[in-house]
Structure 1
Amino acid sequence: MTNSVAGSPPQMFAQVSGRQGALADVAVLMPAYNGQADVERTLASFAEDAPLYALIVDDGSAPPIVAPNVPGMQVEVVRMAQNGGIERALQAGIEALAARGFQYAARIDAGDLAVPHRLAKQRARMEAEPRLAALGTWTQVVNQAGEPLFMLRPAADALTLRRTRLLIAPLVHPSVMLRVAAVIDVGNYRVQYPAAEDLDLFLRLMERYDCGNLPELGLYYELNEGGISATKRRKQITSTLRLQLRYWNVLNWRDWAGIAKTLLHFVTPYRMLQKVKRAWFGRGV
């Protein structure tokens, strides 16, 4: 793993203490594999009233990701020696942020867009509630043309998220701000559950900490239907089922329903599932 930084030598980013502003302890964390234009568009979408720092974990892109010049933002690129998947990229990213002294990691994926002042709102809530280890937001899902498809509105409070965690995704991963120390405490991102690394992390965090959501729009998530491969989808469903069986509470009917829902995904075509989501979430449910 090697480092490169836009406009400054790597040693200038060794510690967070030298940075200024209300978001000095927050880092945007973005894994990326190719897609230079998407990386640039996503980082440019951040609008905050303080300087920002962003860490891109380049997961073996060819050509390598180049740190874009974004006004008001310092951008560092950590390069993985080879493509190892998002799980390893995020693991390396959290380790790098912990070493640099950051308290919060604000997740986003290349191609998604941040709503203005998302980071300030999330940090304020997490500062006020020290038990919060992860805080997401509502998310508008859009197609590649930017047209709205449906809105994801996960529950705001920790208790509801614990009750429904195996039935409904508790947080939208690219919208989440994470407390770096808590992520390290529970073992960081892991590779044991391919394509479900986010659910694996959230379930472990919920065993020791609280997770929540801001009940307002914080992210525009781009759904690339043509980019979903059958192999990755099947891995995700399998990993999700393994996690559900591991955390299954036989006294919670929602856990039973969640397992049934996952089993149904095995036999339901992807595009049909997207139609169901648009019909269901589009009604504001």
Structure 2
Amino acid sequence: MMNSPAAPNVARTGALADVAVLMPAYNGQADVERTLASFAENALIYALIVDDGSTPPIVAPDVPGMQIEVLRMAKNGGIERALEAGIEALAARGFRYAARIDAGDLTVPERLAKQRARMEAEPKLAALGTWTQVVNRAGAPLFMLRPAADASTLRKTRMLRSPLVHPSVMLRIDAVLEVGNYRVQYPAAEDLDLFLRLMERYDCANLPELGLYYELNEGGISATKRRRQIVSTLRLQMRYLNVLNWRDWAGIAKNLLHFVTPYGALQKVKRALFARA
């Protein structure tokens, strides 16, 4: 499945000693370097890049204040398998928290410290995201994503809109493993699959503040695997449907509408809806 040496001796000092950044990557060396360079914390940061069969292979950049390891998958198997392997590797290295980010996205200063402090204070939290500024490839702002902050509201609206912005999330690793880790059963919707399983046993929430700049990439999963993502999301919506919750039905209708809405038109609608939200 992967080509990696035994777990190395990882520096475990400082306020973030039990936190690891988890980034899957397929090619895009420059995006990897730019994303990791955006982290700014008052402690040493450990980052695990899961190289999903890149050609040429991803090389760990030299980033001040950061210790970086590259875990190489034997071949390109998709983000679901890369994240599954990454969580297993971090558990083997003794980390408690995995802070997700994708190559090309940028984080805000002290995001990790804020998320860790909240999760330490609330042991029932298994996933904690942040509000997210969506930008284009040039970095220009497009719209803001402000998912609900509290766990109760997220449970009610989880089918109507994405409960957490995946690359902004910090995960409690033991909880992720307890519910079965990332899976391949729902291609391109591996994040929603995980969040729904976590919500059955734990809480998920969001910090109501900006934590991530998400780059809208026309070549990304949401664009190139859109139909697969919609089908996977519909399967999850039917699997977890609460017939008494009108929001679940509205979420299904919304997802069906995505089938007949061109991707470009959908992005324009999102900009209009979220520009002032």
Specify if TM > 0.5: yes
Pick from 93, 99, 104 the counterpart of residue 86 of structure 2: 93
TM-score by length of 2: 0.97
Match of 1:73 in 2: 66
CA contact (8 A) 1:48 1:117 kept: yes
Aligned partner of residue 68 in structure 1, secondary structure: coil
Pick from 182, 193, 215 the counterpart of residue 186 of structure 2: 193
Match of 1:212 in 2: 205
Cα deviation, 1:166-196, whole Å, max 9, x if unaligned, reads: 0010000000000000000000000000000
Structure 1 residue 121: deviation in Å?
Answer: 0.2
Match of 1:144 in 2: 137
Matched-pair identity in %: 84
- What is the alpha-carbon distance in structure 1 between the residues aligned to residue 178 and residue 222 of structure 2? 33
Match of 1:42 in 2: 35
Which AA in structure 2 matches 1:12?
N
Match of 2:230 in 1: 237
Which AA in structure 2 matches 1:218?
G
CA contact (8 A) 1:36 1:66 kept: yes
CA contact (8 A) 2:7 2:92 kept: no
Structure 1 residue 32: deviation in Å?
Answer: 0.1
- What is the alpha-carbon distance in structure 2 between the residues aligned to residue 12 and residue 60 of structure 1? 24
Match of 1:11 in 2: 8
Aligned partner of residue 8 in structure 2, secondary structure: helix
Aligned partner of residue 34 in structure 1, secondary structure: coil
- What is the alpha-carbon distance in structure 2 between the residues aligned to residue 201 and residue 225 of structure 1? 24
Where does structure 2 lack aligned partners over 5 or more consecutive residues? none
- What is the alpha-carbon distance in structure 2 between the residues aligned to residue 109 and residue 226 of structure 1? 14
CA contact (8 A) 1:3 1:76 kept: no
Match of 1:184 in 2: 177
Aligned partner of residue 55 in structure 1, secondary structure: strand
Aligned partner of residue 77 in structure 1, secondary structure: strand
Aligned partner of residue 14 in structure 2, secondary structure: coil
CA contact (8 A) 1:137 1:219 kept: yes
Match of 2:3 in 1: 2
Q: Does 1:262 align with 2:262?
A: no
Which AA in structure 1 matches 2:8?
Q
- What is the alpha-carbon distance in structure 1 between the residues aligned to residue 152 and residue 221 of structure 2? 32
CA contact (8 A) 2:188 2:221 kept: no
Q: Does 1:113 align with 2:106?
A: yes
Structure 1 residue 229: deviation in Å?
Answer: 7.5
Q: Does 1:24 align with 2:21?
A: no
- What is the alpha-carbon distance in structure 2 between the residues aligned to residue 226 and residue 23 of structure 1? 33
Match of 1:58 in 2: 51
CA contact (8 A) 1:59 1:86 kept: yes
- What is the alpha-carbon distance in structure 1 between the residues aligned to residue 142 and residue 223 of structure 2? 22
Cα deviation, 1:10-56, whole Å, max 9, x if unaligned, reads: 6323xxxx511000000000000000000000000000000000000
Structure 1 residue 225: deviation in Å?
Answer: 2.2
Match of 1:159 in 2: 152
Pick from 116, 120, 131 the counterpart of residue 127 of structure 1: 120
Aligned partner of residue 56 in structure 1, secondary structure: strand
Q: Residue 82 and residue 225 in structure 1: after superposition, are their counterparts in 2 closer, same or farther (change >3 A)? A: same
Q: Residue 267 and residue 177 in structure 1: after superposition, are their counterparts in 2 closer, same or farther (change >3 A)? A: same
Aligned partner of residue 244 in structure 2, secondary structure: coil
